[in-house]
Amino acid sequence: MSDKKNKYNISPELRLQFKESFMTNLSTFEKMILNLEQNLGDKESLNGAFRAIHQIKGESDYIGYDDVNKLTHECEGLLDLLRLEQIKPDTTILSLLFDVHDKLKSISEVMGENYDEQNVDAIIAEIHYYTKEDTELPAAKSSRKTDLRSIFINSAEQTIEYISELLTSVAEGESSKGIKAKIIRSLKSLHNSARYAKITEIYTLVQNIMNDIDKKRYISKNDAGKILSDLKKLSSLLQVNETHEKNDKEKEAQSNTDQISIDKNIKLNIEKIDGFMNNISELNIQKNRLTFLLKSSKNNEILLTELLLVNDKITKICENLTNNITDIRLVNINVLFNRLYRVVRDISTRTGKKIKLSIIESNIELDHKVMDYLIGPVVQIIRNAVVHGIEKPAARKITGKSETGSILIKTERIDNNLVLEIADDGQGIDVEKIKSIVKEKQYLKKEEINHLSDDEALGLIFIPGFTSIKNADKNSGRGVGLDIVKNNLKAIGGNVNIETEPGKATKFRLEVPVEIITTEVLMTEVNGEKYAFPLNNIKESLIIDTKDIREINGISVLKLAGKLIRLDFLSDLLKINTTNRNKTFKAHVLILEFGNLQKAVAVDKLTGKYSIIIKKLDKQLSNLQEYSGATVLGDGSIALVINIIELFNLNNE
């Protein structure tokens, strides 16, 4: 690596360019293999995946990241064999390609000028199983093994079902012409995958069945019966494995691989920056003009007109700048969508579901803060749809649905809001079941439950801790979920609704504002209630001994840096009944500033700095002038935001 480093002059800008190109290629690669998985023979996707890996490889040669270089080189070899159709893509190869993606992604997270190169030997050894002859599959690490096993079990069940159908027709007396070849072919693929997934007992059993069939010229009625009973044995063996696999899963760490994060580096449209830059240079011109005018203030009347003009211009520019910066903070909703395909793919693979995710893209832009709050809820709802909503292929078949379930995401911009719909064609939500859980967990009284409308009952699934699953697993459950969905959305002034049709469909409708402005506040507590003070207006905060408070004409004052300053208790200003004020104790005091005015306000407790989104109070509360609004905190609690101007007014009464 070091000799390569000396060979090419890599400036920090080039290093950044490498990383950006790396991430773009990596996400193209992921998109392509997702496509490939949906459509196994798709040449376009295969070529796209190849090109992306090829480019990463070529670029890593120059920058000297040997781990990336080695891994992409080997992966390119594998993709080449797929392109030349020397090997066929199947779920295990796809799963390996996803692993390559994830490995590269994890390397990208530590990538830098001096980073410890990651060990890629294990995954390369897995690739060699396909690209080099006579290579044994190495023992995969446990999580991958579990993943492989579940993939294997799901596909094996389907294969066995298929073979059984063929055999049953023979057993019922139909012609067995061509059936032997079909069965052997299916068994062979089962055999190979069992070997790959390292499930020896199944591997051996399939081998024996295959040998038996191979000896026969054709499959007779009797043979069919015998093979069918062998297959039953195989089925029960699979079920044992499935239970093992489930136990393994539960043991797995709670770390959540489905969590997605959006890159904090916003990709900027150059025009947006230009608009910003233009306004800044305009602002500078006006500022210089102002300085000049102030210096040459001979004729005051002309000066005043000029100053007013400059003031108008600066006001206008500041407005533009605010718009510019709001604009720059916007990210395209597709950034989120691009990640969802992988989330659905991973959870459905683990749970043995077949699911097609369709997203109608819309290019709606929203503030990255809104995006931050939206990701969690969307992923949670999708996870619920995959785990609880959509049934296993066999169950869907019984109810006359297609084996592949569907999740459809639609977006629409209505005024200043983004409306996002997530609809699945699964089993719907059983309102009666919700009611019985509510009863069992005693969230509500019995008579209250009886009076619930269906819609109201549905709303109860947002109660913290609510889960319909007895044994929550890695994929979903544990009762944290929908309550967080609701809180996250409320925090940015959004909302969520559910519609469900039992047995048929569920639709979540999320509504969030596309733009929000956050305010920095200091959170305080009085009498157990939370009050937020805009940080801009706080000069300092201190702890005082209450015995230092003096009374002058019935007004409390505090001596601060030789000056007397009026002190009020927030509880008095807001007319809150306090029961626990202890006048001879230490108090937290905020020194507030508004223009030239200063005042001290005492609170019970300071709980920290927050970046919040202020929501206007409802109309019926808007006569409460002392508050400029309210905010919902991460834990779902509400804080009132103090209107500083009003607080100074209250003082003068």
Partner 1 sequence: MKKVLIIDDSMFTRNIHAGILTELGFENLQADSGSTGIEEYKKEKPYAVIVDLLMPDMDGMDVIKGIKEFDENANIIICSTDRQKFRKQEGKDLGVEHFLNKPIDKDLLSEVLEKM
301-320 residues in contact with partner 1 (CB under 8 A) are: none
What is the number of other CB atoms lying within 10 angstroms of the CB of residue 426?
27
Contacting residue, 1, 39, 41, 58, with partner 1 by CB under 8 A:
58
Does residue 191 interact with partner 1 by CB under 8 A? Answer: no
Q: Which stretch binds partner 1 (CB under 8 A): 51-59, 275-283, 479-487, 516-524?
A: 51-59
Q: CB of residue 25 vs partner 1: minimum separation in angstroms?
A: 9
Q: Compare residues 51 and 439 and give the one whose CB is closer to partner 1.
A: 51
- The yes or no reply on residue 91 touching partner 1 (CB under 8 A) is no
CA 116-121-126 angle, 5° bins: 145
Which listed residue (35, 42, 55, 511) binds partner 1 by CB under 8 A? 55
SS3 state of residue 541: strand
Of 378, 369, 500, give the one whose Cα is nearest residue 432.
Answer: 500
Q: In what order do the strands lie in the sheet with 586-594?
A: 538-545, 586-594, 597-603, 563-569, 555-560, 550-552
Minimum distance of partner 1 from residue 62's CB (angstroms): 5
Dihedral of CA 545/548/550/556: which sign?
Answer: negative
- Choose between 23 and 336: whose C-beta lies nearer to partner 1: 23
108 binds partner 1, rule: CB under 8 A? no
Instruction: Supply the DSSP string of 67-109, one letter for each residue.
Output: HHHHHHHHHHHHHHHHHTTSS---HHHHHHHHHHHHHHHHHHH
Q: Are 154 and 352 in contact (CB under 8 A)?
A: yes
Candidates 52-60, 113-121, 493-501, 516-524 — which segment interacts with partner 1 by CB under 8 A? 52-60
Name the CA dihedral angle for 394, 396, 397, 400, rounded to a multiple of 10 degrees. Answer: 170
Nearest distance, CB of residue 76 and partner 1, angstroms: 9
34, 36, 46, 57: which one binds partner 1 (CB under 8 A): 57
Q: Which is nearer to partner 1, 84 or 253 (CB)?
A: 84
Site for partner 1 in 11-40 (CB under 8 A): 14, 17-18, 21
Cβ atoms of residues 235 and 229 within 8 Å: no
Q: Is 59 one of the binding residues for partner 1 (CB under 8 A)?
A: yes
**Selected range binding partner 1 among 59-67, 261-269, 402-410, 465-473, rule: CB under 8 A:** 59-67
Residue 66 touching partner 1 (CB under 8 A): no
Q: How far is the CB of 9 from partner 1 (least distance, A)?
A: 6
- 62, 462, 594, 648: residue in contact with partner 1 (rule CB under 8 A): 62
Min separation Cβ 255 and partner 1, Å: 33
Give the residue from 140, 107, 115, 112 showing the smallest Cα distance to 126: 140
Q: What is the dihedral of CA 333, 368, 265, 345, to 10 degrees?
A: -40
User: What is the 8-class DSSP label of residue 407?
Assistant: E
Cβ proximity to partner 1: between 9 and 584 the closer is: 9
Nearer to partner 1, 51 or 581 (CB): 51
- Nearest distance in Å: CB 19, partner 1: 9
- In the DSSP assignment, the letter for residue 615 is B
Closest CA to 391 of 244, 503, 242, 246: 503
Cβ-Cβ contacts under 8 Å for 23 (sequence gap 6 or more): 108, 263
Comparing CB distances to partner 1, the nearer of 19 and 368 is 19
Q: Does 5 bind partner 1 (CB under 8 A)?
A: no
3-state SS record for 512-539: EECCCCEEEEEEEEECCEEEEEEHHHEE
Q: Decide if residue 7 touches partner 1 (CB under 8 A).
A: yes
Among the candidate windows 5-13, 191-199, 253-261, 453-461, which touches partner 1 by CB under 8 A?
5-13
Instruction: Select from 55-63, 138-146, 461-469, 644-652 the region that touches partner 1 (CB under 8 A).
Output: 55-63
Q: How far is the CB of 263 from partner 1 (least distance, A)?
A: 18
330: its two tokens: 């916007």
Q: Residue 389: which residues within 8 A CB-CB, separation 6 or more?
A: 405, 424, 426, 427, 428, 506
Question: For residues 87 and 109, what is the distance between their CA atoms, to the nearest angstrom?
Answer: 32
**CA–CA distance, 572 with 578 (Å, rounded to integer):** 9
Give backbone dihedrals phi and psi of 177, rounded to 5 degrees, phi first. Answer: -60, 130
339 binds partner 1, rule: CB under 8 A: no
Which residue from 31, 40, 61, 102 is in contact with partner 1, where contact means CB under 8 A? 61
What single-letter amino acid sits at 164? S
Choices 8-16, 103-111, 401-409, 491-499; region in contact with partner 1 by CB under 8 A: 8-16
**329 near partner 1 (CB under 8 A):** no
276 binds partner 1 (CB under 8 A): no
Closest distance of CB 114 from partner 1, Å: 20
Phi, psi of 136 (to 5 degrees): -80, 150
Residue count, binding to partner 1 (CB under 8 A): 17
| Min CB(266)–partner 1 separation in Å | 19
| Least Å from the CB of residue 358 to partner 1 | 26
Chain residues binding partner 1 by CB under 8 A are 4, 7-10, 14, 17-18, 21, 51, 54-55, 57-59, 61-62
